Structure 1
Amino acid sequence: MQGSTTSAPAVKSKAGAVFRVTSGNFLEQFDFFLFGFYATQIAAAFFPASNEFASLMMTFAVFGAGFLMRPLGAVILGAYIDDVGRRKGLIVTLSIMASGTLLIVLVPGYASIGLWAPALVLLGRLLQGFSAGAELGGVSVYLAEMATPGRKGFYASWQSASQQVAIVVAAALGYALNQWMAPVDIAAWGWRIPFAVGCVIIPFIFLLRRSLAETEAFQARTHRPTMKAVFRTLLDDASIVILGMLMVAMTTTAFYLITVYAPTFGKSVLQLSTADALMVTLLVGVSNFFWLPIGGMLSDRFGRKTLLAAMSLLAAITAYPALSYLAQQPSFAHMLKVLLWLSFLYGIYNGAMIPALTEIMPVEVRVAGFSLAYSLATAVFGGFTPAISTWLIHITGDKAAPAYWMIFAAICAFCATLVLYRRLRLGAPVPA
């Protein structure tokens, strides 16, 4: 294995470096999406209960529990990456993530091993969450540090764009299974096939990560903080982390609403076919992939603040009318139309948000600070979006109720953006 002293010119091209570093993001989101889409089958296999609502809520609670580990992973693994380097740290996060994925795939059902089944699935999700706490931050900072001058937004946006490829591939696999297998077979064991595919590609992703070069920005640093120093710096800059968390709230809530929760929403709430729900999600992933780099480029041109404020305000104004229109007239075409609109808002916003978050954090704890803000937002907002959406619909009887949660997140993001940029005066693009 090459050491962290590998120079940036060793990477054949910028595109190659982007592909290598974002490969782990693909695996993470691939597995997370599958967990959300096959929530009904997972609930039956590991969390049997007296009624479908209770079983599904337990499944989504375990799904959300993984996000509670993210802040811990953000601080511990984020500090490790800030100390040893982006390359070595990202290999460690991938190892932990792969362990959690393998565990979930191999666990027998509740009928075979009883309570051990949900306990081991929970352990797998906790491992995934701990790893993901620093994975996103490590990848985003790597991309920002390797970016050419004036194009930091464009390069950093590929962190999220890689996740959309995972959504498309996972949705395509699910669609194919739905065409080739009977529903009873999918429920019994077929749902494990896409997870197994994720496990098969793990060795390939390890090879990609091992060939990464360390960033020149990290190599140029003469001071690397200890874990104690990282904690002290994060505490001293707690207000920046909290404002960053609120800024991420819009991203993480919108993303899990239009991707992970969307198939369940389409099938269970709107009563659309499995094939229609999967196809909508696949097309949303393509849409996200298209808009994210555009959002990054626009933020390089016009500034982060402008896009962040405009998109979060648009989301707060339009989320409920859009979902209410869909709930009143559920159909494949209407679901696609509404989710593509939300995809546009998410893509442009997140394309600007990722580089903004790398810029506002103190350079010596850039990975830890970014990861902590992102992880807290995912734990508080995004990770529990499927569970909260299910609960809101249940208690209100309003099929458009998930919009309330997105509106709240968008308002938090809008206010945080205004306060943050007033304090930091970073409304204009920051030089790379």
Structure 2
Amino acid sequence: RVTAGNFLEQFDFFLFGFYATQIAQVFFPAQSEFASLMMTFAAFGAGFLMRPLGAIVLGAYIDNVGRRKGLIVTLSIMASGTILIAFVPGYATIGLLAPALVLLGRLLQGFSAGAELGGVSVYLAEMATPGRKGFFTSWQSASQQVAIVVAAGLGFALDRWLSAPVIASWGWRIPFLVGCMIVPFIFILRRRLEETQEFKARQHRPDMKELLGTLARNWVVVIAGMMLVAMTTASFYLITVYAPTFGKTVLHLSTADSLLVTLCVGVSNFVWLPIGGALSDRIGRRPLLVGMTVLAIATVYPALSLLAHAPSFVSMLLVLLWLSFIYGIYNGAMVAALTEVMPVQVRVAGFSLAYSLATAVFGGFTPAVSMALIHMTGDKAAPGYWMSFAAACALIATFVLYRRGASALAPAH
């Protein structure tokens, strides 16, 4: 019930990335495919710029009124953006109003997502049984992987049932309409949630002024938290949202092959995330955070280089499954760590702000940055530079947080 909103968010985000080519043609027509896709991915990334604002405004709301009420509000705003994107007519019909409305839909989704992830992660952390916080919070990300699998499976079915011209014209809207149909069921699930006992026990609820003051005093933790999340967002959007476009436009693999790879990556992520969370409960967060970031720095670019020089379905699958392993184990430990290091009075707002800043700076623009790096360098493995940079930021953040004596990052028993 708690992670259902995460499912809807990632379902829509993945669809936007996968159908970027069709969305570019319908809403952002330009003289070249590169320019059209760049405008589409810029609109995709613009939604992430709204996340920090949503993190502060909606995060403060959730810290004040409660987890349950706040998660219903974030779902309402997210659903509005989803419905808007699904039903907006194309550029040929309403002109510049079409891309403007698509951008508005992305901004609404970004604003709500700014606090959705934090609200869900904190709810899971506060309801977790002793010594299992890593395992519980890992299901925030695991629910997103279910969305990836469902969306990729739906896209694969459409690719088999409909012709390419039909998909380009209107078929790409079908998965978005399915997302709209899911919304009422998620509302029913969310309304049945109970408030966490930990929140009920709190005597003081901070107002906006107090919340901003607490965040300002803990700015080092927020910035370090942002860098900690950088590895998660860059790797996730590289191996899921951008991967299908990378497979089709850069490696020249078929749509079906690209979708099958992404579907397998979603399943792999779903398996490794709870394992990473459970491992962090047993051996601590820090060893996994350090180990996976070092592994990413050492192996991501070489792996993508091998794929670029010998593109095939099998090689793309193996490389992305390796990156999925790194992402899953790292993120399983990271989400719990981030909920533990934030001041309890502003736990949702602090977590959401750190996560949203990372997603705005690193994650949301990963598709656009990846395309730009390939275009500028001529190196098809150039996205590896971006993920390695994000991993280096996360490694530095891990050392900073532990040097500050963030003993809360150790697993609770």
Please indicate, yes or no, whether the TM-score normalized by the shorter chain is above 0.5.
yes
Alignment of 1:401 onto 2:386 = no
RMSD of equivalent CA atoms: 0.8
Q: Which runs of 5+ in 2 are unaligned?
A: none
1:30 aligns with: 11
1:227 aligns with: 208
1:167 aligns with: 148
Q: Secondary structure at the match of 1:222?
A: coil
Q: Secondary structure at the match of 2:81?
A: helix
Query: How do 1:8-407 residues align onto structure 2 when only pairs under 5 Å count?
Result: 20-407=1-388
* CA drift at 1:430: 3.6
Q: Give yes or no for contact 2:118–2:351 (8 Å, CA) kept in 1.
A: yes
CA distance in 2, matches of 1:429, 1:147: 15
* CA drift at 1:25: 0.2
CA distance in 1, matches of 2:356, 2:409: 26
- The C-alpha deviation readout for 1:68-122, integer Å capped at 9, x for no partner, is 0000000000000000000000000000000000000110000000000000000
CA distance in 2, matches of 1:405, 1:246: 14
- The C-alpha deviation readout for 1:22-49, integer Å capped at 9, x for no partner, is 0000000000000000000000000000
Q: Give yes or no for contact 2:84–2:101 (8 Å, CA) kept in 1.
A: yes
CA distance in 1, matches of 2:408, 2:26: 50
CA distance in 2, matches of 1:178, 1:426: 50
CA distance in 2, matches of 1:271, 1:235: 48
Q: Give yes or no for contact 1:302–1:428 (8 Å, CA) kept in 2.
A: no
Tell me which stretches of 4 or more aligned residues in structure 1 moved more than 4 Å.
none
Give the TM-score of the pair, scaled to structure 2.
0.99
1:13 aligns with: none
* CA drift at 1:431: 2.1
Q: Secondary structure at the match of 2:338?
A: helix
CA distance in 1, matches of 2:406, 2:219: 18
Q: Secondary structure at the match of 1:196?
A: helix
Q: Give yes or no for contact 1:87–1:209 (8 Å, CA) kept in 2.
A: yes
CA distance in 2, matches of 1:38, 1:174: 9
Give the TM-score of the pair, scaled to structure 1.
0.95
- The C-alpha deviation readout for 1:196-249, integer Å capped at 9, x for no partner, is 000001000000000001000000000000011000000000010000000000
CA distance in 1, matches of 2:45, 2:319: 25
Q: Give yes or no for contact 2:282–2:411 (8 Å, CA) kept in 1.
A: no
Q: Secondary structure at the match of 2:176?
A: helix
CA distance in 2, matches of 1:219, 1:426: 25
Q: Give yes or no for contact 1:82–1:364 (8 Å, CA) kept in 2.
A: yes
Cα separation, partners in 2 of 1:164 and 1:359, compared to 1, 3 Å: same
Cα separation, partners in 2 of 1:139 and 1:74, compared to 1, 3 Å: same
Q: Give yes or no for contact 2:280–2:411 (8 Å, CA) kept in 1.
A: no
Q: Percent identity?
A: 76
Q: Which runs of 5+ in 1 are unaligned?
A: 1-19
* CA drift at 1:428: 6.3
Residues paired across the two proteins, number: 413
Opposite residue 138 of structure 1, the aligned amino acid is G
Q: Secondary structure at the match of 1:21?
A: coil
- The C-alpha deviation readout for 1:342-365, integer Å capped at 9, x for no partner, is 000000000000000000000000
Opposite residue 261 of structure 1, the aligned amino acid is Y
CA distance in 2, matches of 1:301, 1:91: 33
- The C-alpha deviation readout for 1:263-312, integer Å capped at 9, x for no partner, is 00000000000000000000000000000000000000010011001001
Q: Give yes or no for contact 1:98–1:202 (8 Å, CA) kept in 2.
A: yes
1:426 aligns with: 407
CA distance in 2, matches of 1:155, 1:92: 23
CA distance in 2, matches of 1:282, 1:237: 39
* CA drift at 1:427: 7.8
Q: Give yes or no for contact 2:55–2:356 (8 Å, CA) kept in 1.
A: yes
Opposite residue 42 of structure 1, the aligned amino acid is I
CA distance in 2, matches of 1:142, 1:287: 25
* CA drift at 1:419: 1.2
Q: Give yes or no for contact 1:294–1:351 (8 Å, CA) kept in 2.
A: yes
Opposite residue 290 of structure 1, the aligned amino acid is V
CA distance in 1, matches of 2:40, 2:406: 43
Q: Secondary structure at the match of 1:223?
A: coil
CA distance in 2, matches of 1:40, 1:211: 39
CA distance in 2, matches of 1:428, 1:136: 19
* CA drift at 1:313: 0.7
CA distance in 2, matches of 1:122, 1:230: 30
CA distance in 2, matches of 1:427, 1:299: 13
